[in-house]
């Protein structure tokens, strides 16, 4: 198509305009020169429902709120210092995977399952202090975000998504994940009661929430949104 119509192709998918870029020069103009104009992700009803009204750092519209959320993630959660602090966690989880391979005694090992388990356990321990059962919820969210929602392209036909049960399913997934992360936060607020040890990402977010000098009010649902994005 690019040979016939050129490096920029405009498509209209329902009410959603799509621009296809197929040259390095055009991509540079969009991604570097005019990146702010094209920085927002497309709005979708399922993402807005699951990710707290798109108030997380990934799907939030470009603006002051996004800049504050990004600053929190970059400076407090993903800095090189924080990464080094969790070196022991990485070594522990990797050692467990190696032991499982050794215990197989030469029999067939499903490396995909082991690596998924390793990734999930690493993120869970770094983010929340222990290996919570997040896999089921993450899997449901991943499946929901890849489904075709008619209303995203034809807003006047959103009733079809409601009729098919897709919007109800998105609301159920949100309720499941929100309850899960609410429990995680409660455990960290009452660490002594629940026996939570160490200092993880949830603790850091709760400290930022208490710090009034930042000039940014990190609300509880924003903390849950950051934790959710961390896993996704």
Report CA Rg, the chain. 21
Predicted confidence at residue 175, as pLDDT, reads 92
Predicted confidence at residue 3, as pLDDT, reads 81
d(CA 173, CA 166): 11
Predicted confidence at residue 193, as pLDDT, reads 60
Q: Are residues 116 and 208 in the same domain?
A: yes
Q: Are residues 29 and 113 in the same domain?
A: no
| Dihedral, 156, 161, 167, 170 alpha carbons, nearest 10 | -120
For 78-133, the pLDDT digits (tens) are 778 877 888 888 898 899 889 988 888 878 888 888 888 888 888 878 777 776 66
Which segments in the chain show pLDDT lower than 50? none
Q: Are residues 179 and 90 in the same domain?
A: yes
Q: Are residues 31 and 48 in the same domain?
A: no
Indicate the number of domains in the chain.
Answer: 2
Q: Are residues 55 and 19 in the same domain?
A: no
The structure's pTM equals 0.74
Q: Residue 222's domain spans which residues?
A: 44-231
């Amino acid at each position: 198509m690019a040979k016939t119509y050129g490096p920029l192709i405009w498509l209209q998918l329902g009410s959603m305009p799509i621009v296809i870029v197929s040259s390095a020069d055009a991509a540079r103009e969009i991604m570097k020169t005019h990146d702010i104009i094209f920085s927002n992700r497309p709005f979708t009803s399922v993402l807005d429902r699951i990710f707290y009204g798109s108030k997380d750092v990934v799907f939030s519209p470009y603006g002051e709120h996004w800049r504050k959320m990004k600053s929190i993630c970059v400076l407090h959660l993903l800095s090189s210092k924080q990464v080094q602090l969790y070196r022991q966690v990485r070594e522990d989880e990797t050692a467990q995977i190696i032991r499982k391979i050794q215990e197989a005694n030469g029999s067939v090992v499903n490396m995909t399952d082991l690596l998924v388990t390793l990734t999930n356990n690493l993120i869970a321990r770094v983010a929340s202090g222990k290996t919570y059962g997040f896999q089921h919820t993450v899997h449901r969210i991943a499946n929901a975000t890849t489904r075709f929602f008619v209303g995203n392209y034809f807003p006047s036909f959103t009733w079809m998504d409601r009729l098919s049960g897709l919007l109800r399913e998105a609301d159920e997934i949100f309720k499941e994940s929100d309850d899960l992360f609410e429990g995680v936060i409660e455990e960290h607020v009452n660490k002594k009661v629940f026996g939570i040890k160490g200092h993880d990402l949830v603790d850091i977010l709760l400290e930022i929430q208490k710090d009034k000098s930042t000039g940014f009010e990190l609300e509880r649902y924003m903390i849950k949104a950051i934790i959710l994005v961390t896993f996704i």
